[in-house]
């Protein structure tokens, strides 16, 4: 089986539930604690391509860092939004599971089953 990776935040109930869902299926993923080691710009670009999303679609708009950094400004470009995701990884939707050249956001956790 291909390596399964999860961008995990142990403080997030959806992230914990997704990890549990994988374990129930006998999958032991590589766990990336993205808040401790934020993904670089290139890695964010790869994630966005796998997810089929634009940078703003990957952002948690209810996080205080979203408004406090003016990320609701529609004039911000891709590079600025990617820089914000890197600088403030708590803005990244979670969890993200990557497997077999595909990725899915575990909201709900069962959404990741489509890529396994």
What is the set of active-site residues?
A: 12
Q: Which has the closest alpha carbon to 94: 112, 107, 110, 79?
A: 107
In terms of Cβ atoms closer than 10 Å to its own Cβ (0-12, 13-18, 19+), residue 107 is: middle
In whole angstroms, give the CA distance from residue 33 to residue 74. 30
């Amino acid at each position: 089986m291909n390596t399964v990776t999860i961008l995990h935040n142990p403080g997030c109930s959806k992230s914990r539930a997704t990890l549990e869902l994988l374990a129930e299926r006998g999958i032991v993923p590589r766990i990336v604690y993205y808040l401790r080691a934020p993904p670089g710009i290139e890695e964010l670009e790869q994630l966005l391509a796998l997810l089929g999303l634009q940078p703003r679609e990957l952002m948690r708009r209810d996080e205080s860092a979203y408004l406090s950094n003016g990320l609701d400004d529609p004039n911000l470009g891709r590079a600025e939004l990617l820089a914000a995701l890197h600088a403030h990884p708590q803005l990244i939707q979670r969890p993200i599971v990557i497997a077999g050249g595909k990725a899915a956001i575990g909201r709900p956790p069962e959404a990741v089953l489509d890529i396994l």
